[in-house]
Amino acid sequence: MVTSHPNKTGDANNIRQEPVDTWQTEMLNEFGNPVVFDENEETGIEGTRDIELQDGTSLQGVGGVYVVFDGLSGEDRVFVANFYNEAQELVHSMKVDVFHVGAGVRRQAFAVNLGDGYGTRMLKYQYSFVDWSHNYEWRDRNQARIFEVNCIACHVTGFDLPKWEADKNLTIAETTANLGVGCENCHGPGSNHAANPMGENLIVNPTVHLTVDQQIHNCSQCHIRGTTLDEHGETTPRQDNLNFRPGDNVLDFFRPMEVKFGEGTSRVATDGKARASRQQFMDHYIGTKSWMACTDCHSVHENNNEGKLLHGTVEELCASCHGGQYGSTEDIRELIDGMRGFEGNDRGWYQNHTYKFDDECRVIGFPETEWNEENKWPWQFEDWKWDWEQ
């Protein structure tokens, strides 16, 4: 992997100014932003914890750890972690690096490594859209995750897992080649290309070197939800595709989350369509456009004027094939609204990728006549074949 840091998209000084401005004035907890050790806890900690820090500090009975913005040091933003006991008395403070790990249009998530030997933990409140009006607010996410175990492969480039496993007190900046999604996530390892930029075939160009299915799988290394598989095909605690390389079959590395036809799950609607973001892989292959590559509509190198990774507006893209078919721009946008007309477990995600409709023109996954008793995705059946296998 190339080890330079051309774009530091994850460090404390690249957190957008808006959440920093409101970090202390609008935080939902009076002490600051809690570090989440346990889910569904006001303080982020269930009861109390004894915490041993890497500098030898030993803290007993910690009832909460809160991160606050402590001003500027030159151009650098300073953050402090304050440790409180159960009586809400301050027992320890230290400077910390806050990493912006959820860079996106709709949500900004934050994480910190306290040096307690476990890795990088999520902060309880994340800065996100309230709705499509682009109004932001701090929202409670309750994500008790270790970032290096659950999330990291889709948020950085070149994560060194053995290095982190040897010392889990290392920060994200110390265990990755690039603090953000970089070229090599999609184009593969690039040291040969960096050494000889004009050389031919030294790095993968997905639209040239990969089939349509392989291109879809390349994007799906992150646009999928489920569980990572080990070399024997058994599930692991991880939830990312750390070892995926362009050209691989994503299902060799990952088991998509289950579908329960007629019942639904927290992430999948009763008919199999997505009920959350980052599930385009499943939607795409149960839909009507599986012959299209993601980059037919999406650009990974730039945003359009709506802030979306598209070659143009939704109307322009759809009209390139369906011009004159729909009466208004609102009609076109509603065609990808998986929530339209549904409630409960039938409800989908606000941007759906099946492009299937029922008699009421609602976006669906599988029609009820196609629900199978095994509750399997179609690609889990023995007779399923990818395009390159046929």
Tokens of 357: 């409709």
Query: What would the mean pLDDT of 227-233 be, rounded to a whole number?
Result: 90
Parallel, antiparallel, or unpaired for β 356-357 and 120-122? unpaired
Structural domain range at position 221: 204-390
Residue 242: per-residue pLDDT: 84
Residue 331: per-residue pLDDT: 80
CA atoms within 13 A on the CB side of 55: 7
Tokens 């496993």 belong to which residue?
A: 165
Residue 329: per-residue pLDDT: 77
Contact partners, residue 262, CB within 8 Å, separation at least 6: 270, 368, 371
Residue 301: per-residue pLDDT: 87
Q: Whole-structure pTM over 0.95, yes or no?
A: no
The overall average pLDDT reported for the chain is 87
Q: For residue 206, which phi and psi values (nearest 5 degrees)?
A: -55, -45
- Looking at the fold, whether 140 and 248 belong to one and the same domain comes out as no
Residue 103: per-residue pLDDT: 60
Query: What would the mean pLDDT of 183-211 be, rounded to a whole number?
Result: 90
Q: For residue 60, which phi and psi values (nearest 5 degrees)?
A: -105, 145
Domain stops at, among 137, 158, 175: 175
Tokens 């030159």 belong to which residue?
A: 74
Kindly report, residue by residue over 86-105, the tens digit of the pLDDT.
999 999 999 999 988 876 66
How many angstroms separate the CA atoms of 341 and 360, rounded? Answer: 9
- Looking at the fold, whether 257 and 128 belong to one and the same domain comes out as no
- Looking at the fold, whether 163 and 16 belong to one and the same domain comes out as yes
Kindly report, residue by residue over 308-334, the tens digit of the pLDDT.
788 888 888 888 888 778 777 778 888
Q: Say which range, 101-105, 111-115, 187-191, has the weakest mean pLDDT.
A: 101-105
Whether residue 240 is predicted with pLDDT greater than 60 in this model: the reply is yes
- Looking at the fold, whether 237 and 362 belong to one and the same domain comes out as yes
Tokens of 339: 């929530």
Domain membership of residue 313 (yes or no) is: yes
Domain membership of residue 60 (yes or no) is: yes
Task: Specify the DSSP element, H or E, that contains 363.
Answer: strand 363-364
User: How many structural domains is the chain composed of?
Assistant: 2
Percent over 70 (pLDDT), the chain: 93
Residue 367: per-residue pLDDT: 93
Look at the alpha carbons of 181, 294, 365, 286 in this order and tell me if their dihedral is positive or negative.
negative
Integer-rounded Cα radius of gyration of the chain = 23
In angstroms, the Cα distances linking 334 to 53, 92, 279, 329, 355 are 52, 52, 19, 9, 11
How many angstroms separate the CA atoms of 74 and 242, rounded? Answer: 37
Kindly report, residue by residue over 27-41, the tens digit of the pLDDT.
767 899 999 999 999
Q: For residue 96, which phi and psi values (nearest 5 degrees)?
A: -140, 160
Query: What would the mean pLDDT of 337-358 be, rounded to a whole number?
Result: 91
